[in-house]
Amino acid sequence: MCFYEEIEKGVKTNLEFQVIEGGNYDCDLEIKAPDGKSLYKDIKKQYDSFAWTTLVAGTYEFCFSNEFSTFTHKVIYFDFEVGEEKPLKPGMEHAHTMTMMESAAVSVHESLNKIADYQTHHRLRETQGRTFAENLNEAVLYRSGIEFAFILFTAFVQVFTVRQFFSDKKNRGAT
């Protein structure tokens, strides 16, 4: 599955991805520049991030592939960041001396961005772990059901066999 993004020249860009569920939790990723040149290509990665600065303006393409595991569907989280974050208030993009209040506000803003990023990563790990646990629980349920049926079948066979040992066939025919 491919995604396309129109990006100007000289823009800092970052793509981060993580496979959340499916198969061995891995996929292929390729990022191509507008001229068709491959900027990044890796196979069977569970998670990764790639940062680059665009050299030409145009439509950039990033494609996730699952061709080595076509029977298993995958769920992939990705975060595609293009450009710098806008300043907190107009006029702050130019270098000037900030007041203590502005400096504290910027510090709090940066800390909150880090917290949001950490929360996203923890949610992804929790989702991946929960999916793994649910799949494991389902497999255990099926196996235990099969084992229960086998034990029940064995019990019936044993009861039938023991009854055959103690049944008196000679007396039944005389009556």
Q: What is the mean pLDDT of the chain?
A: 86
Full DSSP string of 22-50: STTS-EEEEEE-TTS-EEEEEEEESEEEE
Full-model pTM:
0.62
Q: Which residues are 16's β-sheet partners?
A: 49, 79
The phi and psi torsions of 15 (rounded to 5 degrees) equal -125, 125
Contact status, residue 46 vs residue 18, Cβ threshold 8 Å: yes
| CA–CA distance, 36 with 45 (Å, rounded to integer) | 22
Per-residue pLDDT of the chain (175 residues), as tens digits, is 899 999 999 999 999 998 888 878 888 899 999 998 999 998 888 888 899 999 899 999 999 988 877 777 888 888 888 887 776 666 666 566 778 887 888 889 889 989 998 998 899 889 888 988 999 999 999 999 999 999 999 999 999 999 988 887 665 555 5
Structural fold of domain 1-84: Jelly Rolls (2.60.120)
The DSSP element (H or E) to which 38 belongs, if any, is strand 38-45
